[in-house]
Amino acid sequence: MAKISEMTQLSPTMSEGVLVKWLKKKGDSVGPGEILAEVETDKAVMEMEAFDSGVLLEIIAPEGAKLPVGAPVAIIGKAGEDITALLAEAKSRSTANVSTPAPVSSPSPAPSSIKKPDPETVAAAPSPSIEVEEPTPRESSVSRGLSSSALEGRIKASPLAKRLAEESGLDLSRVRGSGPDGRILKRDIENGISSAGISSSPFASANIQEEKLPISGMRKTIASRLVHSKTHQPHFYLDMEIDAEPLVHLRENFNSDLKESGEEIKLSLNDFIIRASALALLKVPEVNSSWREDHILKHGRVDIGVAVSIEGGLITPYVRNADKRSVLEIGKTVKELASRARERKLKPEEFSDGTFTVSNLGMFGIDRFAAVINEPEAAILAIGNVVSKPVVKNGAVVPGKTLSVCLSCDHRVVDGAVGAGWLEVFRNFLEHPLRLLA
Give me the active site residues, please: 411
| C-alpha separations of 370 from 66, 359, 419 in Å | 34, 9, 14
| Cα radius of gyration (the chain) | 31
| 438/396 Cα distance (integer angstroms) | 32
Q: What does DSSP assign to residue 22?
A: E
Burial of 218 (0-12, 13-18, 19+ CB in 10 A): buried
CA 280 to chain centre: 30
User: Coil, helix or strand for 134?
Assistant: coil
The answer to whether 277 touches 381, Cβ cutoff 8 Å, is yes
| C-alpha separations of 12 from 141, 319, 347, 405 in Å | 53, 19, 11, 31
Closest CA to 419 of 387, 382, 379, 385: 379
Q: Pairing relation of β-strands 356-360 and 379-393?
A: parallel
**Count helices and strands in the chain by DSSP H and E runs:** 11, 18
**What single-letter amino acid sits at 354?**
G
Torsion angle of C-alpha atoms 34, 37, 42, 43, degrees rounded to 10: 60
CA atoms within 13 A on the CB side of 133: 26
